[in-house]
Amino acid sequence: MSQIVYRIARILQSVLASVPIGTNLGLYGLLWTLLSGRLLLSRGALFPALSDFGCNPAQVRRSEAALAYGRFETAQLLAAWQNLVLSEGQWRAHSHGGYRPVACDLVGFFRPRLVGCASKHYHSTADKALPAVVLGMVGAVGSVGKARLCLPRILQRWEAQAFDEQALMRDTLQKASQGLADDEAVVVDAGFPLAMLLSLEVARFVARTDKNFTARRNYLPAYKGRGRRPKYGERVRPLSRTRAKKQIAASKPDHTLYWKEQGRRITAHVWYDLVPASKEPGGSGFSCVVIEDPRYKQPWVLVTNLPHSVSAYNIWRLYRDRWPIEQLPLAAKQMLGAERSFVFGTQSRLRLPELALFSGNLLSYVAAGSWCVPTGFWDRAARPTCGRLRRWLLRLHFCELPVPEGQLRKKASVTEHLPKGVEAHRRQKAIPEPLKKRRKAA
């Protein structure tokens, strides 16, 4: 048996140690099934994936029951996973200008045929919002070896009947802000509006905004001696634009910086001490940085409330470190096959995407810290990626796994007298109300 298999088994046993007995054993088999990519082969069908991995009917039912009815919380697993990764010492947090990035984003697991799915998420191929299970993600960004890796902290659900994406964003940002250390900064993309970041009073943030973004100075201009005294600060336009066939020039920056990155000349224009365009001077200000990189067609318009001592170069690097959070859904959907799933329970529809995100992150972490697993003889420059490790784990069978130790065992409870399988949830015809009243009267 390979050392990688033993290492994954030790990690799963450590993470599942606090889960109740019986449920942890069911989750053990389920997580191994996800890690081996069996869900990808079964096209999202959970029972065939468990069976293809080698689980017998009793083990399949145990794993499904743990997913649907088990008494555990995903936040509990993420906390144990984070403590384990930090204790091993392989993961190193990134720091730019004295601040560590904490990325936030939303992810949607699309379920177009799920009955009663009130939440929707934008699908780029369909060019519209489709029914999906939407989760908010928060994770610290670092590296394992040469690979960048996001360590998830929070997976925020939305369980209300009426879905509100803005409210989910607000809850995710609020949770991220509450757990923010003094040397950490929240990094988000343009989907999170600047007004929300300011209203929640996020202590430190770096966010991308629209290219037609405008702001005002956080101080009043000098009075010209005639007319009404100014009420708002001078308007600042970071980028030029065309309106009614007239060119509107960009505002003059307060500072301009240049640096070279892999032979490219990058330009940064900075404006300090700004407030939203609809606000009067006097509130908490922020800065705006426009990054012009020849690698991209459109410039980046970044806003931040970090101190002026943090250079535009470090702000650029902080925002670049937002991208590793995109690896979480990439590994869960494309690598492990959780993009499609056929579970319909109230808890199952939420827990399976959460466990898939956790499994993809675990697979990426183990792959980055282990020896490279080549796909075949043609893979002469193998890299430690989660896809290569998943292809290698696909050869694994359930009977070949290391025997679980400690609290990972079957719960010793008598269940022979209980119906199982279809008989356990077979529906019965409802008794009409008049017949019920007659029986009570009798």
pLDDT value of residue 333: 92
Q: How far apart are CA 103 and CA 138, in angstroms?
A: 6
Q: Which residue has the tokens 């365009």?
A: 277
For the chain, how long is the longest CA-to-CA vector? 95
Which band of pLDDT confidence, cut at 50, 70 and 90, is reported for residue 382? confident
Work out whether the CA dihedral 124, 125, 127, 130 comes out positive or negative.
Answer: negative
Would strands 255-261 and 246-248 be described as parallel, antiparallel, or unpaired? Answer: unpaired
Tell me which residue of 135, 136, 131 sits closest to 117, measured CA to CA.
Answer: 131
pLDDT value of residue 115: 84
Tell me which residue of 354, 366, 357, 352 sits closest to 335, measured CA to CA.
Answer: 357
pLDDT value of residue 370: 85
In this predicted structure, the answer to whether residue 436 has a pLDDT above a threshold of 70 is no
Q: How far apart are CA 5 and CA 400, in angstroms?
A: 10
272 and 216 in contact (C-beta within 8 Å)? no
Q: How far apart are CA 391 and CA 92, in angstroms?
A: 27
Q: How far apart are CA 396 and CA 31, in angstroms?
A: 13
How large a percentage of the chain has pLDDT more than 70? 93
pLDDT value of residue 414: 66
pLDDT value of residue 170: 94
pLDDT value of residue 335: 92
Query: Phi, psi (5° rounding) for residue 431?
Result: -80, 130
Q: How far apart are CA 364 and CA 356, in angstroms?
A: 12
User: Mind listing the pLDDT tens digit for each residue in 192-231?
Assistant: 999 999 999 999 999 999 988 999 998 888 888 788 888 8
For residue 191, list its beta bridge partners: none
In this predicted structure, the answer to whether residue 153 has a pLDDT above a threshold of 90 is yes
More confident site: 294 or 440: 294
More confident site: 397 or 189: 189
User: Mind listing the pLDDT tens digit for each residue in 113-122?
Assistant: 888 888 888 8
Q: How far apart are CA 70 and CA 22, in angstroms?
A: 9
pLDDT value of residue 409: 67
**How big is the CA angle at 282 (ends 281 and 287), to the nearest 5 degrees?**
75
> Domain boundaries in the chain?
3-79+339-415, 206-222+231-305
User: Mind listing the pLDDT tens digit for each residue in 252-274?
Assistant: 999 999 999 989 999 999 999 99
CB atoms within 10 A of CB 384: 19
pLDDT value of residue 214: 92
pLDDT value of residue 106: 94
pLDDT value of residue 268: 94
Tell me which residue of 217, 204, 211 sits closest to 190, measured CA to CA.
Answer: 211
Please state the rounded mean pLDDT for residues 106-111. Answer: 91
pLDDT value of residue 44: 87
Please state the rounded mean pLDDT for residues 345-354. Answer: 90
Which band of pLDDT confidence, cut at 50, 70 and 90, is reported for residue 412? low
Q: Rounded to two decimals, what is the model's pTM?
A: 0.88
User: Mind listing the pLDDT tens digit for each residue in 298-342?
Assistant: 999 999 999 999 999 999 999 999 999 999 999 999 999 998 888
Which band of pLDDT confidence, cut at 50, 70 and 90, is reported for residue 138? very high
**How many angstroms from the chain centroid is the CA of residue 269?**
31
Q: How far apart are CA 269 and CA 240, in angstroms?
A: 13
CB atoms within 10 A of CB 333: 20
Please state the rounded mean pLDDT for residues 382-406. Answer: 82
pLDDT value of residue 226: 82
Amino acid (1-letter code) at residue 292: E
Please state the rounded mean pLDDT for residues 266-294. Answer: 91
pLDDT value of residue 426: 63
For the chain, the average pLDDT equals: 88
Please state the rounded mean pLDDT for residues 80-84. Answer: 94
- Tell me the three-class secondary structure of the chain, residue by residue: CCHHHHHHHHHHHHHHHHCCCCHHHHHHHHHHHHHCCHHHHCCCCHHHHHHHCCCCHHHHHHHHHHHHHCCCCHHHHHHHHHHHHHHHCCEEECCECCEEEEEEEEEEEECCCCCCCCCEEEECCCCEEEEEEEEEEEEEEEEECCEEEEEEEEEECCCCCCCCHHHHHHHHHHHHHHCCCCCEEEEECCCCCHHHHHHCCCCCEEEECCCCCCEEECCCCCCCCCCCCCCCCCEECCCCEEECCEEECCCCCCEEEEEEECCEEEEEEEEEEEEECCCCCCCCCEEEEEEECCCCCCCEEEEECCCCCCCHHHHHHHHHCCHHHHHHHHHHHHHCCCCCCCCCCCCHHHHHHHHHHHHHHHHHHHHHCCCCCCCCCCCCCCCCCHHHHHHHHCCCCHHHCCCCCCCCCCCCCCCCCCCCHHHHHCCCCCCCHHHHHHHHHC
Q: How far apart are CA 330 and CA 103, in angstroms?
A: 15
User: Mind listing the pLDDT tens digit for each residue in 30-62?
Assistant: 999 999 999 999 998 999 999 988 888 988 998
Which band of pLDDT confidence, cut at 50, 70 and 90, is reported for residue 417? confident
25-34, 106-115, 319-328, 425-434: segment of lowest average pLDDT: 425-434
Please state the rounded mean pLDDT for residues 261-288. Answer: 91
* Most confident among 80-84, 378-382, 394-398 (mean pLDDT): 80-84
More confident site: 370 or 315: 315
